[in-house]
Homo-oligomer: A and B are copies of this chain.
Amino acid sequence: MSIDTAPRATPRNGVDIPTLFATLDAVRAAPAAAHFQFRATNQWVEGTHSRSTISDFFGVGEERAHAREFVFQADHPAVLVGHDNGPTPVEFVLHALASCLTAGIANIASARGVTLTEVRSTVTGDIDLNGILGLQDVRNGYQQVAIRFTISADAPEDVLREIVQQSRRRSAVYDVITHGVPVDIEVEVA
């Protein structure tokens, strides 16, 4: 999730640039339109297996819904005492990071008049499970995350590198997972 404010260009890369800039103009005129709330509901299935549903959100002043409801499973693999009904929760964090930076790259490239042929990435997260196992005093989460992009486009290497940097500077997920965010937990016993 990242867009840019460079000079206007014709639509490319599947990005509707006129609408992108019209959205920017609309939010500039009414900044509260940019206040969004995203949501997921989760239901435990059994063991480490649960299922989340993502359907509605709030934005541009009103309740909205995705075109359809999205449902995702999460679980642990057998080696982590689960049944592998879905990726682990920490793997979804990697998908979130790669997809956020990639969407930004496409939007920014389009705004700068660059036509992309391919954007691929591999993202890795190293984790020492002695933390969550309570066996050693190491952090519970990833110790480091690395993402490597391969990009083909009709622009010189320095232009493409700067597009990736601008995507990083405007990425919501990059911000969350590099800087952290306060999380409030409430429990209701039914």
**Is A98 in contact with B132, judged by CB distance below 8 angstroms?**
no
Q: Are B147 and A184 in contact (CB under 8 A)?
A: yes
B121/A14 in contact, CB under 8 A: no
**CA gap between A181 and B172 in the complex, in Å:** 14
Pick from B72, B139, B157: contact of A179, CB under 8 Å: B139
- Contact B59 A79, beta carbon cutoff 8 Å: yes
Q: Does A161 sit at the interface, judged by CB under 8 A?
A: yes
Interface size class, chain A: 35 or more
**Once the chains bind, are A116 and B174 in contact (CB under 8 Å)?**
no
Q: Is the CB of B52 within 8 A of A98?
A: yes
A66: chain B residues within 8 A (beta carbon): 77, 84, 87
Closest chain B residue to A105 by CB distance? B44
A residues with CB within 8 A of B: 1-5, 13-16, 19-20, 23-24, 27-28, 31, 34-50, 52, 54, 57, 59-60, 64, 66-68, 70, 72, 74-82, 84, 86-107, 116, 118-136, 139-152, 157, 160-161, 164, 168, 170-190
